[in-house]
């Protein structure tokens, strides 16, 4: 499978542009993982770091779920990989953990995020609140998600280059 990344139109309206950039960064993370084995995807960047491509995908599934369910809709669906005992469970694997499962879960969370966001305008405020009691409009959530993916895609660049020398924007 070849990942296609589509940059948003340069003259799109605000919502189309924000959603376009979020999708672009989602596609970038998938592209960074493309063509690697489960073993490579579980390989940490450098000791003692636990940063892996599979961990980044699992982390972003958790983040999609948090912002577009727990905060936007005030729905607590529980954690996917993390727990109170293991706050970094998204980066801790067993032999049974696979790219196929992580990718399927991540894509399902992205689909749910799109569906949930479609019911809100950019200025609509979340039903849920942060631990500090803050609410967020959808514009803030999407902008934050772009930032979250962009930061982690920088990590993914470095991990991928370490694994097989592949580089690219």
Determine, yes or no, domain membership for 69. Answer: yes
The CATH number covering residue 41 comes to 1.20.120.450
Structural domain contains residue 117: yes
Q: Give the tens place of pLDDT for each residue, 9-34.
A: 899 999 999 999 999 999 999 999 99
Domain count, the chain: 1
Cα 6 from Cα 28, distance rounded (Å): 10
Model pLDDT for residues 55-111, shown as the tens digit of each residue: 999 999 999 999 999 999 999 999 999 999 999 999 999 999 999 999 999 999 999
Please indicate, yes or no, if residue 62 is contained in any of the structural domains.
yes
CB 101 within 8 A of CB 54: no
Q: For position 1, what pLDDT does the model report?
A: 60
Whole-angstrom Cα distance, residue 141 to residue 146? Answer: 9
Domain presence at residue 9 = no
7 in a structural domain? no
- Is the separation of the CB atoms in 8 and 24 below 8 Å? yes
Domain residues for the domain of 101 are 17-164
Listed in sequence order, the residues at least 6 apart from 96 whose beta carbon sits closer than 8 Å to its beta carbon are none
Residue 33 domain-assigned?
yes
What sign results for the dihedral spanned by CA atoms 120, 22, 65, 70? Answer: negative
pLDDT computed for residue 122 by the predictor: 98
Beta bridge partners of 125: 137
Does position 141 have pLDDT exceeding 70, yes or no?
Answer: yes
Rg value, the chain, Cα: 16
């Amino acid at each position: 499978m070849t990942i296609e990344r589509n940059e948003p139109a340069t003259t799109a309206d605000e919502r189309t542009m924000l959603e376009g950039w979020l999708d672009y960064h989602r596609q970038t993370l998938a592209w960074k993982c493309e063509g690697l084995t489960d073993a490579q995807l579980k390989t940490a960047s450098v000791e003692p770091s636990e940063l892996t491509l599979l961990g980044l995908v699992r982390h972003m599934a958790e983040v999609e779920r948090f912002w577009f369910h727990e905060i936007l809709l005030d729905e607590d669906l529980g954690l996917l990989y993390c727990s109170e005992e293991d706050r970094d469970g998204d980066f801790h694997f067993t032999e049974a953990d696979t790219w196929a499962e992580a990718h399927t879960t991540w894509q399902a969370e992205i689909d749910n995020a799109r569906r949930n966001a479609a019911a809100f305008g950019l200025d609509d405020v979340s039903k849920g609140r942060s631990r500090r009691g803050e609410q967020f409009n959808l514009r803030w959530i999407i902008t934050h998600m772009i930032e979250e993916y962009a930061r982690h895609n920088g990590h993914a660049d470095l991990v991928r280059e370490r694994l097989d020398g592949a580089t690219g924007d």
